[in-house]
Amino acid sequence: NQFFLFLGFAFIRLPPIYLIPINNPLFTSHSIARYFIVIIFINTLFHSYNYDKKIPIPKVLSLLLLFFFFTQSASIIHSVHIDAFLFDYKNIVFSVIIFFISYNILDRKNIKTLIWIFIVTAVLNLLFEYITYFFPHIIYSYFQPFLYEKYWESLNFQIQRQRFFPEIFDEMLIPLLFYYSYMQKKQIKKLLGITTVIGVVTFSIISNWRIRLVMMIFSLIIAFKMYFKESKKLSIMIFSLVIFFSVIGYIVSINLIGFNSIDRFLLPSKQDITNITGRFENLVESVYVSTSSPFVGIGLGQYDDYVPEIGRISFTNNNRISSKNLQIGYYPHNIFFNILTTSGFLGLFSYSLLILYFLKNDFINMNKRSLLFKSFIISFWTLFLLSNT
């Protein structure tokens, strides 16, 4: 179970590629990871049944999780396109399963192995980001045949918009990278952790995604505050290197691309401002759509039918090339509003209860638990920040 779980996490953390020379989504690395997860889930249930082993998830959390799962399932009532519902529902199912099996498998003995997997995949992601940004012709010439078709369409589309590395959000790992650097006695391993932090920060700046910059600042500030008490020397060293390479990254991006994530904040273009105001309009639109079915929602994956403008607006890049796979750009960029629309007030209520449960427990644990535990807490809320902005 541990082996398949860790291998599955490694596959999920990296861009989806075809693992065999057949361009079929069933054989991508992400799909294989799902197969691993299903095997672990069945094996865990079988083991629990045969050996009468109780599931260690707290009862209150189990009930909240089941309530949330029920509300997402109930949204099928008003779903017209069942295939679209199942496509989104699949993500809900696997999220719950991953939560379940992780709770059963991860412990003090193997959690550091998971951190090591996070670091190795972060280094590989940084290498992929470096090649994409500075040598895009290599991506087009050598990487394209191996990348999942829909992912490649999105990646190619964003590169032409001068937005780099979509769906790589390693900013969430910054607290864990601090922990790794802090705990290592060997200088070479400590240097690996520090270098990875610098790489994540630098590529957040040159990626031209504002959300990555926001996540990075949030995660970095809290990590500095948390580890400064433990090791002033390490924190000052990382802080100094981060500032230095941030300046280097800023200068390089200005000369190579002409702008970066910081510019989009401090010197936003007309399009940048329109994007933000448009997202507020999307939030209002989602509330209006939710009135169609306020209790159980319109159904997962049904948003396009209720906002027909999405199908007519061409989401284009700098070369005026549109992408059907990026129509989600017109959905509400906030998980609470999205849940309100797709699964109604019942779904919003269940999700809010779940988040409040995590918030309460994490607030208590931030004062009592270990640095490792606190680092995971900050990683979680960094991702939560992504889901809301």
Report the b/e string of 342-376 with b at 16+ CB within 10 A.
bbbbbbbbbbeeebeeeeeebeeeeeeeebbebbb
Least confident segment among 31-40, 99-108, 299-308, 369-378:
299-308
Expressed in percent and rounded to 5, the helix, strand and coil fractions of the chain are 75, 0, 20
pLDDT for the residue 348 = 95
Q: Which helix (H) or strand (E) holds 215?
A: helix 210-228
Indicate if the alpha-carbon torsion angle 365, 367, 369, 372 is positive or negative: positive
pLDDT digits (tens, 9 = 90+) for 251-264: 999 999 988 889 88
pLDDT for the residue 324 = 54
Q: What average pLDDT does the structure give for the chain?
A: 87
Q: Which residues contact 105 (CB under 8 A, 6 or more apart)?
A: 1, 2, 5, 40, 44
Question: What is the mean pLDDT of the segment spanning 74-88?
Answer: 90
pLDDT for the residue 312 = 47
pLDDT for the residue 323 = 53
Per the model's pLDDT, the better-predicted residue between 369 and 97 turns out to be 97
Q: Which residues contact 317 (CB under 8 A, 6 or more apart)?
A: 157, 158, 160, 161, 323
Is residue 181 over pLDDT 60?
Answer: yes
Q: Which residues contact 371 (CB under 8 A, 6 or more apart)?
A: 179, 182, 226, 227, 230
Closest of 31, 9, 10 to residue 20, by C-alpha: 31
Is residue 19 over pLDDT 90?
Answer: no
Confidence of residue 360 (pLDDT cuts 50, 70, 90): very high
Is residue 306 over pLDDT 90?
Answer: no
pLDDT digits (tens, 9 = 90+) for 256-287: 998 888 988 888 888 888 888 888 888 888 88
Q: Residue 147 has which token pair?
A: 């990348």
Confidence of residue 317 (pLDDT cuts 50, 70, 90): low
Torsion of CA 9, 12, 15, 17, to 10 degrees: 100
Is residue 33 over pLDDT 90?
Answer: yes
Return the bridge partners of 28, or none.
18
* CA 153 and chain centroid, separation: 19
Q: Residue 242 has which token pair?
A: 């981060």
Predicted model pTM: 0.88
pLDDT for the residue 319 = 54
Question: What is the mean pLDDT of the segment spanning 242-255?
Answer: 92
334-339-343 Cα angle (round to 5): 165
- DSSP string computed for 18-73: BSSSS--GGGBHHHHHHHHHHHHHHHHHHHHHHTTPPP-S-HHHHHHHHHHHHHHH
Instruction: Name the residue with tokens 């189990």.
Output: 62
Confidence of residue 69 (pLDDT cuts 50, 70, 90): very high
pLDDT for the residue 229 = 84
Is residue 329 over pLDDT 70?
Answer: no
pLDDT for the residue 7 = 93
Question: What is the mean pLDDT of the segment spanning 160-173?
Answer: 87
pLDDT for the residue 310 = 53
Question: What is the mean pLDDT of the segment spanning 180-207?
Answer: 91
pLDDT for the residue 271 = 81
Question: What is the mean pLDDT of the segment spanning 87-103?
Answer: 91
